[in-house]
Structure 1
Amino acid sequence: CSLALDEGEGTIVKDSSGNNSEGEVHGEATWTEGKSGKALSLKGAKSKNYIEIPDQESLQLTGKFTIEFWWKKVSGGVQIFFRKGESGNNYNYYAWLEKKIYFSVSDRDEKAYAVSVPSPGNGWHQLTFVYDGQELKIYIDKELAGSKKIGKITLFTDESPLYIGTHNPDYSHSLAGTLDEFRILDEALTLEKPKAEVTNIQVSDIIAHWHFDEGEGSVVKDSSGNNNHGKVSGTNWVRGKKGFALQFPGKGNYISIPNSPSLQIKGPFTIDFWLSIGTKDFCFSLNCKGNRFIS
């Protein structure tokens, strides 16, 4: 499940993982600027704002997993991050804020296991919840905040929906703040793995960001807010590293992005992307004028 939350309008949020975990937005949630592109602004308390994703097999986690998202904290009251499962200890995975941040799973005997860590201050934070088959872990901003060894257990699963931002539709303690880039992985990220990612990029520094998650059509949208949308020629939509991706057959295929002031880079910069190389010979163009290539 991978929700970029970049729709910017409407009540449906699309899943780019390929598992069709499409969600519906309820309550008083509104669209706003996020950590990257758009995001959902949640009102908390009794607003009953949440995302509901119908049950499917890919959401019934039975082994190692990671759940992570960006959250802009605005208050410290009791709030629910996510929950999949019925009432009591009949749940697969569950995280909430109650002075501390709690992360819990339960087994088939309805025994609950939990770890808690101090809550960070207001502002943007990346929260990462991990079960690695032996321990429950909570990372805050890619730093391990706490862990608890619970051993290997048989996780409880059922056919209830996944709720993001609430316990259930009738619960009064909805999530407050801004939610962005929510995803669930069927692997356990380690302390080293999150640290390997770029951590010091500010939202204002991002010039263009293409998810390539459209899966169809000839336009790729830029989620940076700079409207550097691209037109695709000669490529094919395929499964990617995460969600969809573009396959380049090798002749006459490219993405064309119109000139804009934000793309005229004059100082230090970084360009990064995932690439599956189908041939040993390729080149990457920094600037076509003067044939400046890296090959």
Structure 2
Amino acid sequence: METNHLNNFSLLPITQAYKEISSNKSLYFLTQDNKLIKIKSITKIPYSGKIYDVDVANDIILVKREDSKEAYWSGNSNPSGKEEKIPYWIEQCNLTASDNATFWIKVPFLQNNTNTTVYLYYGNPEASSASDANSTFIRVIDGVVGSWHFDEGSGTTAYDTSGNDNDGTINGATWTTGKFGSALNFDGTDDYVDCGNDESLEVFSDDGTKLLTIEVTFRRAQTGVSHGIAGKGTSSGWKLVISSDDRVCFTTILVHDYYFNTKIEDTNWHHLVIVYDSNYDTSLYVDGQFKEKIEYDTVGKSASGETLVIGKEQRDDYHFNGVIDGVRIYNRALTADEISDLYNNYGYTTENYPGKVLVRKYASPEPTIASIGEEQLLTKTDSYGNYSYTFKAPLEAGTYTIKVNLTNPNGIYGENETTFVVDDTPPSVTIDSPKTGAYIPSK
């Protein structure tokens, strides 16, 4: 029988080793003290990344994943239990400047009442990133120029997360619970949000080359009265109003009033979208469904320098009475499919990806961002392989895991872990002296 071995831990391609073992050849590991450890078997685990489990006397595991350069997320969430690559997108990763990293992953399958483990393989500086928002989210929508989620929950500023920094100043409106997280409650008298007059919000042009989509999620406190939802301009521009007869009205100021026949006659949550297209026509979508289109042949007038307001229309004629949970302004005409996806899911915007709306599922309650612990790269130990590392324990009570991974320069890998418990129960203090009722003389 032929004999082969790995000299000084040099690596024989695992595919070749697998073929040799399968051909009844003997294969050995040669240790640093020149001892031979015979490999009993090599099992090829079904997986597109070609994982091999090498069985030797000391239970050494040798793993090769494709070219060993690509860092990626993987998990065991599919019904077969096999590990598989999952799409991910890196929103931000600036550990040097802020110690913050935000990763979004798309888990393809979650089974009820079972644990799902997701792994992150990383650490190779030569790895090419597979970060891709388009494969991670349901849809990526372009053209957002203003996005106010109203998720701050406190304070007097409604931040614009479109990347254009058109932060709104809250005047009178109060924080409340919305359909998605926090929202703003408007009293119908004098509450509104001033979003400024930056050029990025000027989505009308006198030559008709600029388009407009307005998206809003709201719930009125009463019907049968006029509600100003948003507007930009007084002698030009646009405004969006629900009239006293509960019809939706979009106005290109001093040009045309688009009164739709569609009525919203209840006080439930609604998702309303107005699309003003290149033909000067205006389409109405309510709760993801196309309702009607009004055709017109004259372009709206630019409102350059005019302020965008939410919760009223600019002339103070109508104020909104109820709760608004998010407004977005686009400089393009959204499609019916895009609007349907926005209604049936959740549109996420972030300054880390300007001008984009990332459509994803929404869970109630939403998962919170949690620290997954610190990692320390140990590049040097003493002559016995020992290393001492001190870390700050988490503040929240619970059981935590410490895991140590070791990989030598030739790719031999091993790991171990232990757990520790953080107990935040306050100590009980007993005073033995002085006794209750005792007198302590003053000096």
Question: Same fold per TM (> 0.5)?
Answer: yes
3-state SS, counterpart of residue 230 of structure 1:
coil
TM-superposed CA distance for 1:59, in Å, is 1.0
Answering whether residue 351 of structure 2 is matched by residue 194 of structure 1, we say: no
User: For 1:81, which of 208, 229, 241 is the aligned residue?
Assistant: 229
Go from structure 1 to structure 2 and tell me whether the alpha carbon gap of 1:214 and 1:229 turns closer, same or farther (over 3 Å shift).
Answer: farther
Could you say which structure has the larger radius of gyration?
A: 2
Deviation at 1:172, TM superposition (A): 5.7
Where in structure 2 are the equivalents of 1:1-295 lying within 5 Å? 1-27=146-172, 29-44=173-188, 46=189, 48-62=190-204, 63-76=210-223, 77-86=225-234, 90-98=235-243, 99=245, 100-106=247-253, 110-116=254-260, 117-134=262-279, 135-151=281-297, 153=299, 155-168=301-314, 171=316, 173-197=318-342, 199=344, 211=348, 213=350, 215=352, 225-226=365-366, 228-231=368-371
Q: Distance in 1 between matches of 2:283 and 2:273?
A: 8
Note if contact 1:133-1:152 (Cα within 8 Å) is conserved in structure 2.
Answer: no
The percent identity for this pair of structures is: 25
Q: Please report how far the alpha carbon of residue 147 of structure 1 lies from its aligned counterpart in structure 2 after TM superposition.
A: 1.4
Question: 1:151 and 1:54, CA in 2 relative to 1: closer, same or farther beyond 3 A?
Answer: same
The offset of 1:137, in angstroms, is 1.2
5+ unaligned residues in a row in structure 2: which ranges? Answer: 1-145, 205-209, 353-361, 375-395, 399-443
In structure 2, the CA distance between the partners of 1:85 and 1:5, relative to structure 1 (3 Å rule), is same
* 1:191 positional shift: 2.3
Q: 2-side partners of 1:111 and 1:181: how far apart?
A: 28
| SS of equivalent residue, structure 1 residue 193 | helix
CA, structure 1 residues 192+210, in 2 after alignment: closer, same or farther (shift >3 Å)? closer
Deviations 1:247-276 (A, max 9, x none): xxxxxxxxxxx9x9xxxxxxxxxxxxxxxx
User: Which structure is higher in RCO with an 8 Å CA cutoff and minimum separation 6?
Assistant: 1
The offset of 1:124, in angstroms, is 0.3
* SS of match in other structure, 1:114: strand
Q: Per-residue displacement from partner, 1:187-215 (whole Å, max 9, x unpaired)?
A: 1112233224562x6xxxxxxx8957375
Does the 8 Å contact 2:217/2:326 carry over to 1?
yes
Give the number of equivalent residue pairs: 213
- What 5-or-longer segments of structure 1 have no aligned partner? 202-208, 216-221, 235-257, 261-295
TM-score normalised over the length of structure 2: 0.44
Do 2:219 and 2:322's aligned partners in 1 also have CA atoms closer than 8 Å?
A: yes
- The alpha-carbon deviation at position 40 of structure 1 amounts to 0.6
Q: How far 1:21 moved relative to its partner?
A: 0.8
CA distance in 2, matches of 1:105, 1:15: 24
TM-score, with length taken from structure 1: 0.64
